[in-house]
Structures are given as C-alpha cells and as structure tokens.
A = this chain, B = another copy of it.
Amino acid sequence: MSTGKRRVCFPITSRAYYGRSQLLIRKLHSHPGIDLQLMLGGSILLDKYSQHIADDIEKGGFSISTSYFNVIEGGNHVAMAKTACLTALEFTNGFHSIDPDIVVICGDRFEQLAIAMAAAYLNKTIAHIEGGDVTGSIDESVRHAITKLAHIHFVTNADAERRVQAMGEDPRYVFNTGSLDLEVASQVRIALTNEQVNSHGVGHSVDITRPFLMVIQHPVTTEADNRAHLETTMRAIAAIDMPAIWFWPNADAGTGEMSESIRHFREHHAAITDKIRFITNVPVDEFIGLLRLTACLVGNSSAGIKECSYFGTPVVDIGARQQGRLHGEHVTHAPYDADAIARAIRAQLHHGVYPSSSVYYKPDASQTIVDLLSGVELYTQKRFCDPQLTS
C-alpha cells in the first residue's frame, strides 16, 4: 500500500475485454510508476467461456488481486440486473481492500456500469475506455452513464470525443487515443491452420483455406425477439450454402433462449446446420486471425465495426445493436429478414476485401493510455462543464 506507486485497478469481467486490453495490461504491469491490480469477476471466471485466460494471466506474470463468482444464472433480464448488483457489491469490498488510486472501466457491458458506480461511491478516480460511441441495446445507456461517473475519458474516434464533451465532461480529460482492439488486431501475426480451428467447438469441419462465413450474433437486451432473430440469421446462412463458423453468444439477458435455439437447430434440423461449426471461445489471436480470413462477418458484434475496419473484412451488420455507430465503408446493414441478410451477404462476397480504414485506428493506443494513467493529475469531485463555455 505504501509503494509510492500509483495503484491502477483493472476489473476484467469478460473475455472480450481481456482480449482487447492485453497490450494495455502488459504495459501497465511493466510501468515502474504503476502498481497494477487485476480484479476478475463475471463471465470471465466461467470456464465454458474463458478457459484460456486464467493460463494467459498466469503466464503473463500478472497477479490477481481477487476473483468473484457472481454471474446469476437465468440468461434473462432479472438475472442480468442482479448479476450487476452482486458484482458491484463484491467489487466494493475488493476496492475497499486494495484501495486503488484509479479504477479503469472498459466499454459498455452492464456489469461495468455497476462497478463504476461502486468505484464512484468510494471516491475513486475512474478512467473510462471507449466512451462516446452511439449504438443500440442497453449498451447505449450503460456507456453514457459510465461517462457521467468517469473522470478520465479515453475515446476511440472523433465523433465520440465530441459527444463526451457535449455531455459536460472536462475537455482537458477527454483523450482520443484510438481503439485498443485495433492496436491488438494490427499486431497479431498468426498463420491459422485447419487443425487449430477445428480443435475448437463442435459440428462441421471448416476448411479455412476456402471461403467461409463467420457469424457472431449477441442478444439485444432491449429487444424481446432474440430467439427469432437468431433463427432468421440461421436461415440466411443456410441459404448461402458456404461453410460458416458460428460463435456462441455472450452471457447476457437473452442468451438462454438463443443457446436453446442453437441446440434445437443442431438436434432437430441438422440439414440447416450441417455446414456450420459452433465455437464458444478461441484464443484472442486466433479470433483475430479468423476476422482477417473470413469472406464475410455476419451478425451484430462490435468486431465487425472495429477490428474489421482495420482489415477491410466485409461485414453484414444485423439489426439495432450497432446502429448509429460510426463505421467504415466495409459495413452493410441488414434488418431482421432472412432474404435481406442473404442478399447483403452475397453482395459483400461479390465485393471482397475493402481498403483498411483509420476511423478507429491510431498507432500506440495502449502506450498513450498508460502514459496518461501514470501522469495525469487525478481528481474526484466532478462538475458539469457547460459546453458553450468550453468550446
């Protein structure tokens, strides 16, 4: 506690956040003026999603300050809300115990708002990564509410920077650093093999040396028809008749019914799924390798908006989850309609790879963030900066 170093606490609650934060975590860990405090909770501790990560963390030499099992089963909104509350309760104890100077909150997952609330009530300085974007789902509310609790803002694009300032945040603490995801993606050098890919998951053996689709469709927590929407996409994919790798949805309200639906298709409509491989999780570098290789990414993952912008991978973005988000020309939107989705996929397959975009990319995003976290003057009492006075 009395090392004289700045204590930077990094709560990790999902494999996605761990993946995109790898470079940042390593640099925080090795910075001489920073004590890195990793706290784990939520779905990252449930091995069906993230068996590789604990090993990774161990190998990286990072010590875990504390781990909390706090995902409440149900896959519905009640379970999601209670998971957030329990997470915040437990992280309060953790923060009280390790007494960080800064708590780093990533993105817009529901439990991150709860953790940010706990940190704010303990008078911690909060740094938020990826504020200011506009999307659909409950993420939209979560992201901006975190912004209003946070003190230091690392945004990934110019639109986001403008919005965070419009919301009354102090312009001296809003930094457009570019996206960590893209920095990680830009550094991955992996030569994927069929053997590697097909060692994960179940179903069809996909030959990645030939064109294949990739599907990632998460529940939209503010919508009631997640099961139907998943089935719509399933039918569109079946219509394309190209091998596909389908990633299991995130643990969120709506996951239960989507998982159920996938299992139902596999067991009772084998014909529809017979060219699909279902995978719950792969190491981050393999995931990025697949994003670069796939002929088209289909679904509603933010990877379509972000990582794919760097690679120029064609994307068919379905529904409201990423709606309104700044994106490059490699993204085509489609509604929840099997024909429209299939048409959009065919058009993207016909177009092929796009040029790389710099909408979300800046070099050295992680180094910029580490430098700021170690050097910026900390404060806790927030005050609305009236935009007309600051612009």
- Interface residue ranges, A against B (CB under 8 Å): 45-48, 66-74, 76-82, 84-86, 88-90, 92-93, 96-97, 110, 113-114, 117-118, 120-123, 134, 136-138, 140-142, 144-149, 163, 166-168, 202, 221-223, 253, 256, 260, 267, 320, 323-324, 380-384, 386-387
Pick from B167, B222, B386: contact of A123, CB below 8 A: B222
Q: Known: A88-B85, A134-B383, A166-B387. Is A121-B69 also a contact (CB below 8 A)?
A: no
Query: A46's closest neighbor in chain B, by CB?
Result: B73
Query: A77's closest neighbor in chain B, by CB?
Result: B122
Residues of B within 8 A of A76 (CB): 69
- A336 and B377 alpha carbons, distance in the complex (Å): 24
Pairwise interchain contact B70-A72, C-beta atoms closer than 8 A? yes
- A221 and B387 alpha carbons, distance in the complex (Å): 26
- A90 and B72 alpha carbons, distance in the complex (Å): 13
22 contacts between A and B (CB under 8 A): A47-B260, A48-B260, A66-B97, A70-B82, A72-B86, A77-B123, A78-B92, A81-B88, A84-B88, A85-B114, A88-B114, A89-B89, A93-B93, A120-B142, A134-B384, A136-B383, A144-B168, A144-B384, A166-B168, A166-B386, A167-B167, A222-B380
Pick from B97, B148, B256: contact of A145, CB below 8 A: B148
Residues of B within 8 A of A123 (CB): 77, 138, 221-222
Pairwise interchain contact A121-B138, C-beta atoms closer than 8 A? yes
Residues of B within 8 A of A45 (CB): 74
- A179 and B253 alpha carbons, distance in the complex (Å): 37
Pairwise interchain contact A384-B140, C-beta atoms closer than 8 A? yes
Residues of B within 8 A of A380 (CB): 222
6 tightest CB-CB pairs across the interface, nearest first? A81-B121, A85-B89, A144-B148, A145-B148, A71-B73, A81-B92
- A195 and B70 alpha carbons, distance in the complex (Å): 40
Query: A64's closest neighbor in chain B, by CB?
Result: B97
Copies per complex of this chain: 4
- A320 and B118 alpha carbons, distance in the complex (Å): 22
- A48 and B78 alpha carbons, distance in the complex (Å): 17
Pick from B97, B138, B140: contact of A383, CB below 8 A: B140
Pick from B72, B167, B324, B382: contact of A166, CB below 8 A: B167
Residues of B within 8 A of A117 (CB): 81, 84-85, 113-114, 117, 145
- A381 and B105 alpha carbons, distance in the complex (Å): 23
Pick from B69, B73, B85: contact of A118, CB below 8 A: B85
Identify whether the interface residues of A are mostly helix, strand, loop, or mixed: helix
Query: A136's closest neighbor in chain B, by CB?
Result: B381
Pairwise interchain contact A163-B82, C-beta atoms closer than 8 A? no
| Interchain nearest-CB distance for A132 vs B (Å) | 9
Query: A259's closest neighbor in chain B, by CB?
Result: B48
Pairwise interchain contact B80-A267, C-beta atoms closer than 8 A? no
| Interchain nearest-CB distance for A147 vs B (Å) | 7
Pick from B78, B145, B167: contact of A122, CB below 8 A: B78
Query: A126's closest neighbor in chain B, by CB?
Result: B141
Residues of B within 8 A of A114 (CB): 85, 88, 117
Further contacts, 13 of them, CB under 8 A, given A81-B117, A90-B93: A69-B72, A77-B122, A85-B118, A86-B89, A110-B121, A117-B145, A123-B222, A140-B381, A140-B382, A144-B167, A144-B384, A145-B148, A166-B387
Residues of B within 8 A of A387 (CB): 166
Residues of B within 8 A of A136 (CB): 381, 383
Query: A201's closest neighbor in chain B, by CB?
Result: B267
| Interchain nearest-CB distance for A236 vs B (Å) | 23
Pairwise interchain contact B134-A145, C-beta atoms closer than 8 A? no
Residues of B within 8 A of A48 (CB): 260
- A147 and B146 alpha carbons, distance in the complex (Å): 11
